[in-house]
Structure formats: C-alpha cells, structure tokens
Structure 1
Amino acid sequence: MRNVELGKVGRKIRQLRKERGMNLQEVADKSDITAGLLSRIENFRTLPSLPVLHNISMALTVPLAELVDLVGSNGESNYILVRKGEGEKEERDDSKGLIYENILSTGLAETNLQVSIIYIPPHTYRKPLSNDSMELIHVVQGSIEYGLGDTLFNLYQGDTLFFDGSIPHSLNNTTDEQVVLFKGYLLRRK
C-alpha cells in the first residue's frame, strides 16, 4: 500500500472527529491512547496499529471499515483547502507554552508536508531538539534567537531560515512580545 493511500486514514479520522464536535483529547481518552498519538496519526506522522484503529472507530462510533474506505480509491481531489480558523491547535508536551496551529498536513508520496503557525510567548526558551525532517521557518511577527547546532541566529520579522531538522535546534524569545513563526516540515519517510 502506498504512503499516499495511508494518509487518507488520518484525514478521515480528523474529518469524523470534527463532524462530531470532538477535540483530540476526547477521542484519545475514549480510544485509550494519548492526544499526542492521535495528533500524529491525523497528521500522518505515524501509522496506527489495527487495535488502535479499532479503538478510534469505537470512540467515533463508526465501523472500522469507514476509517479505511478511501484507501485504494481514486476519489481524492488534487487539492487541500484549509479555511482560516480550521487549523487544529495543540500545545505539545515539550513546547514550553508554545501553541502550534497546524494549518496543513499531507501524506503524499515519500514525504509528508506539515505546515504550522507557532505562537511563542514572551521570555520562552525551548531546549534543542532534532527530528527527521527538513524545516523552514519564517518570522511573521517579532524577533527571536534561533539556535542551529553551534550557530545562533537573530531572526527578525520577514526573515526565513531553511535547515536540516536533524541538526539540534532551539528557540529563545527574549522579548516582552509574542513571536509568531510560520513553520513548514518536510518529513522524510523511512
């Protein structure tokens, strides 16, 4: 089964969850999984096991077959439209108060594109982390210190930085103002 096909499962779960007016935590609690895992499934950052899919189907009160009914079909359109305010907001465990608004996530070909707006409170430091992606950040509002390996960049509104996410990277908002970043992840498939 191709990766693009499996991406349809996560999108279907998100669609059904939103149709039922449920948030990530509600579905996760009913599925006996974490909200973080459910978010990664919806954003096609991980593949769920069959028992997890079953639990999600039970939480959404739909047959398991409905979660996978588009897999193998050609019924997917050539575009994805996300309207203002439709992005899923999440505060990650390691985020130190950062709010991620995921505005686009696809499971296409051998990569997965995820685009977020990140709201960084004043005087917030996030320790270095790394991941298996290529990343692009664009400063929409404010200024921020961005560490990339041993290099520290002072980024200002309008600046853009593209880098290999496997390099440990950190951020530090030393100002009294909220910083807003546009961030794109191009996740590699194994």
Structure 2
Amino acid sequence: MSNDTQPRLRLEQYLGMQIKRQRQEQELKLADVARIANISQGMLSKIENAQVSTSLEILSRLCDVLGMPMSKLFSQYDQPDGSALLVKAGEGLEVVRRGTEKGHTYRLLNHTRGPKKNFEAYMVSMDDASEEFPTFAHPGTEFLHLLEGELVYRHGNQLYHMQAGDSLTFEGEVPHGPEQLLHVPIRLLSIMNYSKDS
C-alpha cells in the first residue's frame, strides 16, 4: 500500500499524542499536570489516549501548564508525515493573486500550513490574449519556466520573448509581469524564493 493512501490521524489522536509527548519530555506526572490544569486525572488520560474530544479552553490550560504555545499544538497537524509534499496534477491549492480578476488561475503547488515558507511555487494559467496585465513587485528572487504557449514578459524596462521550455530568473522587487500573450493557452511555473541567504 502506498503512503498517500494511509489515513490521517484524527485530530483528537494527534492532540492527545502531542500533549502526552510534551508531558513525558518534561518528565511530568499525569496527576500533577491534571491538578494544575484543574481537570481530573481520568480526563487528562482520556485526552492523551484520544478517548474524548475536549474544549479549546481545556487545551489552552494544558498548553499553559506544559509551557507550550497553543499554536504549536496544532502547527504540524495537517503537514505530511514524511519530509516531502506530493501535489498531484491539477490539485494545487487555488489562490487569489493580483491577476485573478483577469481570468488568470494561480495554483499554489507547495501548500502547507504552519511556519512561513521561504519559497512559493505557482502554476499560472492564462488564456485570454487580448487582456491587459497587472504589474507585480515583491521581495526575493523569482524563477519562471514556460511550459506551454508563448509570451513577451516584462522585467523593469526589458522585454523577454519566451517560448515553451524557456526560463527566466530575476529580482522580484523590480516591477514585472506579462506584456503580451502571443500564443494561448499559457501555463507558467512561477517559483518565488524569499530566502535572505545570497
């Protein structure tokens, strides 16, 4: 059986495991944590073993007792168990960006919740050759790879004629964007790197 068919932990199981792990790492007794959090020992045991759903208030008290922020409790829940994120064709998270109102579709290919990523990858689809385009400017470096179609892309005062298979890398803070769509439909892979390392 492949990894992508394994069922995800229920939220109660995940929270219980996190609380139990945190308590055991600090070598705290179940009875002491329950007493300070003002819940019964039996209730804490049921929470840790996913035998009961509990309120956010109780979870908040447990986090306080264990000295962990509530956000940490949930931060890894919907991240994959392994070290890689597989996004199947057509399944990227559709997001709203400048240009969406022009009929462009942006699919975020490295969607995970949690800490801010140091890069974002988008599949951009454009199919109306007659439209005007927004200009973009953002921190970091951007890499474009044209998978399908043909266009003229502007970066600052320079124009770049791109055909399928061509790539373009540039500083994101300089205004940029499509200038003219020569052959539609267009599919463009856009990767933005926000890393501070040079």
Correspondence for 2:140 among 124, 127, 133: 133
Q: Bigger relative contact order, structure 1 or 2, given CA contacts below 8 A and separation 6+? A: 1
Give the deviation of 1:154 after TM superposition.
Answer: 0.6
Q: Runs of 5+ in structure 1 lacking a partner?
A: 1-15, 17-61
Once residues 136 and 182 of structure 1 are traced to their aligned partners in structure 2, the CA distance between those partners, rounded to angstroms, is 8
The AA in structure 2 aligned to 1:144 is: L
Once residues 133 and 95 of structure 2 are traced to their aligned partners in structure 1, the CA distance between those partners, rounded to angstroms, is 16
Once residues 153 and 116 of structure 1 are traced to their aligned partners in structure 2, the CA distance between those partners, rounded to angstroms, is 20
Partner residue, 2:161:
154
For the structure 1 residues 72 and 176, does the alpha-carbon distance in structure 2 shift closer, same or farther, using more than 3 Å as the test? Answer: closer
Once residues 141 and 185 of structure 2 are traced to their aligned partners in structure 1, the CA distance between those partners, rounded to angstroms, is 25
Larger Rg: 2
What SS does the corresponding residue of 1:82 show, helix, strand or coil?
coil
8 Å Cα contact 1:110/1:188 also seen in 2: no
For the structure 1 residues 158 and 122, does the alpha-carbon distance in structure 2 shift closer, same or farther, using more than 3 Å as the test? Answer: same
- Normalized against structure 2, the TM-score is what? 0.53
Partner residue, 1:101:
107
Once residues 72 and 116 of structure 1 are traced to their aligned partners in structure 2, the CA distance between those partners, rounded to angstroms, is 23
The AA in structure 1 aligned to 2:89 is: K
The AA in structure 2 aligned to 1:99 is: T
Q: Deviations over 1:159-185 (max 9, x none)?
A: 001111011102034335211101111
8 Å Cα contact 2:151/2:183 also seen in 1: no
Matched, 1:83 2:68: no
- Paired residue total: 128
Q: Name the structure with the higher strand share.
A: 1
For the structure 1 residues 135 and 184, does the alpha-carbon distance in structure 2 shift closer, same or farther, using more than 3 Å as the test? Answer: same
For the structure 1 residues 110 and 122, does the alpha-carbon distance in structure 2 shift closer, same or farther, using more than 3 Å as the test? Answer: closer
What SS does the corresponding residue of 1:69 show, helix, strand or coil?
helix
User: 1:18-167 residue pairs with structure 2 within 5 A?
Assistant: 63=56, 68-71=72-75, 77-95=82-100, 96-105=102-111, 112-123=118-129, 124-167=131-174
8 Å Cα contact 1:141/1:180 also seen in 2: yes
Q: Runs of 5+ in structure 2 lacking a partner?
A: 1-10, 12-54, 60-69
Give the deviation of 1:106 after TM superposition.
Answer: 5.6
Partner residue, 1:7:
none
Partner residue, 1:172:
179
Task: Calculate percent identity across the aligned residue pairs.
Answer: 20
**RMSD between aligned residues:** 3.3
